[in-house]
Amino acid sequence: MRHFLTLLDISPDEARHILQRAEKIKRKLKEGKPTRPLEGKTLGMIFDKASTRTRVSFEVGMYQLGGHALFLHSGTTQLGRGEPIEDSARVLSGMVDGVIIRTYAHETVQRFAEYSTVPVINALTDLTHPCQVLTDVFTYEEQRGCIKGRTVVWIGDGNNMAHSWINGAVTFGYRLRIACPAGYAPDEKAVAAARALGADVSLTHDPLEAVAGADLVTTDVWASMGQEHEQAERARAFADYRVDARIMSYAHPDALFMHCLPAHRGEEVTADVIDGPQSVVWVEAENRLHAQKGLLEFLMA
């Protein structure tokens, strides 16, 4: 049984296949010739965290692929009343053809996958967000060609997005530079594991050093879901890590800017950058739909 809990769950060749299929599925849709390989299939969608792009992209994606998506919020299911994850996995995988989970603890999706008899997709945990980086690589390659050997810069918190960019350096072969304040670095084990697999990952506290000559600059909010009580403290710590025109001027002139959204203009990014000519965040947002359709077909067709 194949699951997608991190980018390391697929090989570089499999990742390339998924993106090629995503490109073809997107092109066919734009031509009015939708691809429907999941006719009669059903996707269970378990959400503990709020969502806009994740829910809409998976639900619409399943419909466009010929299948059906079923939204399940933990607060209105037996999971919210204390049913063991293992029991829910056994029950749901007997009724649906695949499951996505958007939750807090990464252990939750791991335990669910262990007892599931259908593919499980990590739609975000506090540790990783692999669907987003799969999408971001897809978007970069649409705009600029193959990302292998290019320089990607992550500026900000060493959070779940940073961890997925680290894993992606193994899968896609780009150079990754991470600029974060002291005390907010990504998990050391994730960095060490990626380097052991041959990834080029470097860390610095200087965003200007990191962004010099970069091909892609990306960031995220300073306080993720569940960290709102740290907002003031984080605003002070990240004050020098705002992606603005000065920081972008150090990147390659052809560099792109990405953000997984939602964004707080004036905090982690200025309005002139996210709404400027180097930003591809709106294409990136739409591409969640197409990249995930490639993933769904790979796991469920």
Q: Mark the binding-site residues for carbamoyl phosphate, compressed into ranges.
A: 51-54, 78, 102, 129-132, 260-261, 288
Buried-exposed string 207-231: b where 16+ CB fall within 10 A, e elsewhere: beebbeebbbbbbbbbbbeeeeeee
Query: Is 230 strand, coil or helix?
Result: helix
Query: Annotated binding residues for L-ornithine, as ranges?
Result: 160, 220, 224-225
**Residue reference for tokens 């961890």:** 163
Which residues are annotated binding-site positions?
A: 51-54, 78, 102, 129-132, 160, 220, 224-225, 260-261, 288
Please give the span between the terminal C-alpha atoms of the chain, in angstroms, as a whole number.
Answer: 13
- The answer to whether 55 touches 45, Cβ cutoff 8 Å, is yes
Sheet strand arrangement including 120-124 = 68-73, 42-47, 98-102, 120-124
* DSSP string for 1-33: ---BSSGGGS-HHHHHHHHHHHHHHHHHHHTT-
Q: Is the omega angle on the peptide bond into residue 262 within 30 degrees of 0, that is, cis?
A: yes
Report the alpha-carbon distance of residue 89 to residue 287 in Å, rounded. 29
User: d(Cα 118, Cα 99) in Å, to the nearest integer?
Assistant: 7
Handedness of CA 253, 258, 263, 269 (dihedral sign): negative
Residues that are catalytic: 102, 129, 132, 220, 260, 288
Closest CA to 8 of 134, 141, 136, 143: 134
